[in-house]
Structure 1
Amino acid sequence: MTASSSSSAPCITGWHHSQFGKLDGVDPEVLIGQVAKAAIEHAGLQPEDISSIHIGTFNAGFLYQDFPSSLVINTLPQLRFKPATRIENACATGSAAIHSGLHAIEAGHSKHALVIGFEKMTELATPQVGEILLKACYAKEEAGVPGGFAGVFGQIAQAYFDRYGDQSDALAAIAAKNHKNGFVNPYAHMRKDFGYDFCRNVSEKNPFVAGPLKRTDCSLVSDGAAALILSAADVARSMPRAVQFRSAVHTSDYLPLSRRDPTQFEAASLAWKQALAAAGMTLNDLSLVETHDCFTIAELLEYEAMGLAEPGQGARVILEGISTKQGRLPVNPSGGLKSKGHPVGATGVSMHVMAAMQVSHDAGDMQIPNARYAGVFNMGGAAVANYVSILERIS
């Protein structure tokens, strides 16, 4: 954990983000090299300045090529002989790679850490993608869930509906909000403002997928990569930009849903409490949040986990406009996973890049006016691995 009281917390000093989407004919190795080279240049560094490489990818069968930790050296031979490690933690893989870099800096082993997140998912048919993603469930009990992870979250949504009533209006409003936000994100996979009515109603183009979840409630199968540079605080302050981690927290919960209340993301709630406490802040201090909306029901539950609403009351956050770009706490001004896309290993890095852009006032049409503090929540599985970061630009 990085504490707010310490002026020595590592900083994000450079970044780069690829287009997300169906990247036909794009070699993952080339994609990794491109984002790494551009992030290093954005930080004003040379490849020789990098102390360690931390690469996040889920893979699990998306690509035959595994063991990707040193692939970036093919593009940037100056990185040869630098320590390079592959990190994986399901859909939180990107944040896990960031934590690996943070720990290397905090331990004094690295001055500048290169973090890369990537995934190439679309080379397989959708049913195969679903089977691979379902490997991140508790296989002994959940491997046979129809619909893959959509089926898992469909069960979560149904349990929530059974307890608190039909939330279809709220889920449609979340989907519509994120697609509207993603429309102005140049990196987004789906840049289309569908509107509330399309997201709310079942149609040939928006059928039910799993339980009460429709197609517009589900994030996209995407390819993409993102990279960032983490630097020690003593050198970061003299660099072109420095976005500091006021806090960075990781909590984990039981993998089996049978051992938890599926309608509450308890470990996510704990991560938020710990991160805000370590940052010396409350939720009211944040300018925006990038949260893990792999499914719209996840964003609804995350409103409650972060403390925007009591259990069962998450719908009011979106229906009252609190989480819109004009609201009290904009959530997913990038369009989130729902619109931006969800290349698994890239997601956590992407979310931190989007948040860093916001607090640096470098987010273009996505920009939240006067953004100062950004929260990031990235999770693996159904709130099993939970990462919360609080970011602030200091120079």
Structure 2
Amino acid sequence: MHKRAVIVGWAHTPFGKLDDPDIESLIARVSRGALDHAQLGPQDVDMITVGVYNNGLTPQGFEGALVALGEPALRFTPAVHVENACATGTAALYRAMDFIESGRGRVALAIGAEKMTAIPAREVGEVLLSGCYRKEEENPAGFAGIFAQIAQAYFERYGDHSAEMAMIAAKNHQNGMANPYAHVRKDVGFDFCNTVSDKNPIVVGPLRRTDCSMVSDGAAALVVTDEETAAGLARAIRFRARSHVNDIMPLSRRDPIAFEGARRAWQQALSDAGASLHDLSLVETHDCFTIAEMIEYEAMGLAKPGEGWKAIREGITAKDGRLPVNVSGGLKAKGHPLGATGISMHVMAAMQLMQEAGDMQVPGASLAGVFNMGGAAVANYVSILERVR
């Protein structure tokens, strides 16, 4: 019989510029916390997956081996490091789920973490370029330069929608005020986001600082088990469906504003879930830049191509809208420690479904969508989550 992996517990650090000295300390902060939340112990864990992007953000590699340093009782537990650009966290989670669903074990611990502020800010952009096709896409502005090109291409085809991008930024910052883990908990307002100023300068192309997610430290962890084990625990969040679709890496070999891999991942997940987008109570989506969230509205089917801006302008994606998007504040306000992001997004969704999201809570949330992507819509992951108990 096909086994299904179920989320039964989690832990989450604040995101931001943290005092934790290294990736090892961040991992230690969430590993035991997630197990305690799941009402399980280190002796119950059959597999550990660790999602860390790194690629020069810190000198320490071999991150899978760091978990036992913070939790010695996990010393002999199999552990692997997983990396898939900005989707590293979800890749680690899905690897843990594959282990459970293969029947090789009953409990897995998936950890996502990143220490991004250990190197000078000017060097971070250079590191992040390893998530694009450097042969063609090398540029002095780093990954912001890639999404500036995407934004410019969108504007050339569909008109300048900088104002709607500012609305997305303002929405997510307002939502982030309710998130105790968020990097920035400040309602900066639409006027500030829509105005170029000394405090909100142009970063590159049409992107202002408020259009870009921040360089953050942080970690999150999830415990997943088989359904039989979950039946005896306090929490159980099931994946009604999950999908992973990869697109070709170079933007020159595809329509850069179509996000076709993301669209296919959403279509596959919703079909497998036997659901439509309008059945969802909320979505946590990958707003590394505001232009990404706007195009993702189109990829998920909330708007027609070229009309994603209408979803924010009409209030559809507001917390009290028809489909709330990024009620956690998203990457924009919550922060984007690369390896932790995918795990964090699933934690935020699970909290909503358990009615444990505090001031972030969407009343009556019963079905949640999560979209996490690596690169510029290259690795695309969609999860459809529901509460079992």
- What secondary structure sits across from 2:239 in the alignment? strand
Deviations 1:213-245 (A, max 9, x none): 100000000000000101101111221100001
Q: 1:9, CA displacement in angstroms?
A: 2.0
Identity rate, percent: 61
- What secondary structure sits across from 1:70 in the alignment? helix
Q: 1:25, 1:39 → 2: CA distance?
A: 18
The equivalent of 2:301 in structure 1 is 307
The equivalent of 2:355 in structure 1 is 361
Q: 2:181, 2:20 → 1: CA distance?
A: 18
What TM-score does the superposition give when structure 2 sets the normalisation length? 0.99
What TM-score does the superposition give when structure 1 sets the normalisation length? 0.97
Show the 5 A alignment for 1:122-201: 122-143=117-138, 145-201=139-195
Instruction: Please tell me whether residue 94 in structure 1 is matched to residue 89 in structure 2.
Output: yes
Show the 5 A alignment for 1:63-142: 63-142=58-137
Q: 1:110, 1:128 → 2: CA distance?
A: 41
Quickly say closer, same or farther: Cα 1:297–1:38, change in 2 above 3 A: same
The equivalent of 2:326 in structure 1 is 332
Deviations 1:86-122 (A, max 9, x none): 0000000000001100100111112010000000000
Show the 5 A alignment for 1:163-312: 163-312=157-306
Deviations 1:283-308 (A, max 9, x none): 01000000000000000000000000
Deviations 1:167-208 (A, max 9, x none): 011100000000000011000001110000000011110011
Deviations 1:315-355 (A, max 9, x none): 01000000000000000000000000000000000000000
Unaligned 5+ residue runs, structure 2?
none
- What secondary structure sits across from 1:353 in the alignment? helix
**Amino acid paired to 2:332:** K
- Is the CA contact (8 Å cut-off) linking 1:9 and 1:246 kept in structure 2? no
- Is the CA contact (8 Å cut-off) linking 2:3 and 2:102 kept in structure 1? no
Instruction: Please tell me whether residue 53 in structure 1 is matched to residue 48 in structure 2.
Output: yes
Specify which of 5, 17, 23 is matched with residue 22 of structure 1: 17
- What secondary structure sits across from 1:347 in the alignment? helix
Q: 1:7, CA displacement in angstroms?
A: 8.3
- What secondary structure sits across from 1:174 in the alignment? helix
Deviations 1:22-54 (A, max 9, x none): 013433212211201000000000110001000
Q: 1:66, CA displacement in angstroms?
A: 0.5
- What secondary structure sits across from 1:308 in the alignment? coil
- What secondary structure sits across from 1:274 in the alignment? helix
Q: 2:302, 2:280 → 1: CA distance?
A: 12
Q: 1:8, CA displacement in angstroms?
A: 4.1
Quickly say closer, same or farther: Cα 1:239–1:25, change in 2 above 3 A: closer
Instruction: Please tell me whether residue 392 in structure 1 is matched to residue 382 in structure 2.
Output: no
**Amino acid paired to 1:261:** D
Deviations 1:50-90 (A, max 9, x none): 01000000000011111010211012121121110000000
- What secondary structure sits across from 2:245 in the alignment? strand
Quickly say closer, same or farther: Cα 1:25–1:238, change in 2 above 3 A: closer
Q: 1:347, 1:207 → 2: CA distance?
A: 26
Show the 5 A alignment for 1:34-45: 34-45=29-40
**Amino acid paired to 1:127:** R
Q: CA RMSD in A?
A: 1.0
Unaligned 5+ residue runs, structure 1?
1-5
- Is the CA contact (8 Å cut-off) linking 1:8 and 1:234 kept in structure 2? no
Count of residue pairs brought into register by the alignment: 389
Q: 2:3, 2:317 → 1: CA distance?
A: 32
- Is the CA contact (8 Å cut-off) linking 1:170 and 1:319 kept in structure 2? yes
- Is the CA contact (8 Å cut-off) linking 1:7 and 1:233 kept in structure 2? no
- What secondary structure sits across from 1:116 in the alignment? strand
- Is the CA contact (8 Å cut-off) linking 2:3 and 2:103 kept in structure 1? no
